Amino acid sequence: MEVFLSGPLRDAVDGATSIQVEASTIRELLTRLNDRYPKLNVHMDDGIAVAIDGTIYRDSWETVIPENSEVFLLPRIVGG
């Protein structure tokens, strides 16, 4: 699948706006990304959100990523 990145996460994947990753869950996605791009590790520690077809998942790593989904990696959001 094609995974899009925005914000500071792009710097961790050598400036790419999207990368190809095979993954069926958020856990698989993050694990494979972490293996390929160690610079993502610091962002993983801070927390990464995953948007699947517009729905943002913060911590649910078992969430299934349906085929042909639009997948974005986003910085973790905080609020007041």
Partner 1 sequence: MSDSKYTGQDFKVVGTRVKRPDGLDKVTGRARYGADMNAPGQLVGLMLRSPYAHAKIKKIDTSKAEKLKGVKAVITSKDLPDLTDGNAGLYDTLENCMARDRALYDGHAVAGVAAIDKSTAKKALKLIKVTYEKLPHVTDVDEALKPDAPAVQPRYAQEGQPSNFMSQGVFGHGDIDQGFAEADVIVERSYKTGQTHQGYIEPHACVATLSPDGSGELWVTTQGHFSYRNTCAQLLGLDFAKLKVTSSEIGGGFGGKTHVWMEPIALALSRKANRPVKMVMSREEVFKASGPTCSTSMEIKLGAKKDGSIVAASAVCRYMGGAFPGIWGTLGGMTAFACYNIPNNKAVGVNVLCNRPKVAAYRAPSAPMMAFGVESTMDQLAKELNIDPVELRLKNVAREGTLAPYGPVWGPIGIEPTLEAVRKHPHMKAKLGKNQGRGVACGFWFNIGGQTCSDLNIGADGTVNLTVGTIDVGGARASLGMIAAEELGIAYEDVRVNIGDTSSLGHNDTTEGSRGTFSSGMAAIFAARDAVEILKSRAAKMWQIPVESVVWEDGTAKAMGAEHGNLPPLSLKEIAAKAGNTGGPIAGHHEATADGAGVSFASHIVDVEVDPETGKTQILRYTVVQDAGKAIHPQYVEGQFQGAAAQGIGWALNEEYIYGDDGRLQNAGFLDYRIPVCSDLPNIDTKILEIPNPSHPYGIRGVGETSIVPPLGAIGNAISNAVGVRMNQVPMSPPRILKALDDAMADANSSEVA
> Which residues contact partner 1 by CB under 8 A?
4, 6-8, 10, 45-46, 51, 53-60, 63, 70, 72, 74-80
By beta-carbon proximity to partner 1, the closer residue of 25 and 63 is: 63
33, 61 contact by CB (below 8 A):
no
Residue 3 CB: number of other CB atoms within 10 A?
21
CB of 73 to partner 1, least distance (A): 8
By beta-carbon proximity to partner 1, the closer residue of 36 and 42 is: 42
d(CA 65, CA 40): 20
